[in-house]
Amino acid sequence: MTDAKKLNFRQESAPVGNSGDGGSHPFMLSLRTDPLKQTFTPGEVLHTFKAPTGWKWVDYVGLSYYTENPPMDHYVGLIDTSKLKLSENDTVLTFRYEPHLNTAGQADFDHLVYHLIATAIDGATKGMSSDGYATIGETSSKAPLPVKTTLYGIITS
């Protein structure tokens, strides 16, 4: 299967932070086929992650595979930072990568988990934001996911 339209992103964790706290907050998003356990080998494709309002990305992307039955993790590593592109005031992160799932003889289980790091922007308005998104593939074959976060209070110096 190589059709990105048959993929689902799922947000595994939603950062909670304070505007301007300067901290690193993890986002975990997982990619899986629909239905689950299908082989997915698209070759190298574009990945686009848009941070929700009030957040910006740090140039860091880690990858791991996960299966629920039996529960098992397999850490892949980090995307080389020279391949990561930040734009729009660091709110859009793009890179090309060759994801694959459920390939015979490989430790690429049911879910490919993307580990991303964001930081809250100084002066951002508190509240929940759900206008971020994650896509894989070119414009015509997106599998979008609304990405959500929560900001508490504004920190001022």
CA-CA-CA-CA torsion sign (36, 37, 40, 45): positive
Is the pLDDT assigned to residue 15 strictly greater than 60?
yes
Q: What is the mean pLDDT of residues 3-11?
A: 72
What is the chain's mean pLDDT, rounded? 82
- What three-state secondary structure class fits 54? coil
pLDDT of 146 reads 57
> Scanning the structure block, which residue is given the tokens 């990619």?
31
Asked if residues 24 and 75 have their Cβ atoms less than 8 Å apart, the reply is no
d(CA 45, CA 138): 7
70 against 157, higher pLDDT: 70
Q: Tens digits of per-residue pLDDT, 45-59? A: 899 998 888 899 999
Q: Tens digits of per-residue pLDDT, 63-82? A: 999 988 888 888 999 999 99
Distance linking the first and last C-alpha atoms of the chain:
52
Q: What is the mean pLDDT of residues 8-15?
A: 80
Q: Is 41 exposed, middle or buried (0-12, 13-18, 19+ CB in 10 A)?
A: middle
Q: Where are the beta strands (DSSP E) in 4-144?
A: 7-13, 16-19, 25-33, 45-50, 55-68, 71-78, 85-87, 92-97, 111-120, 127-136
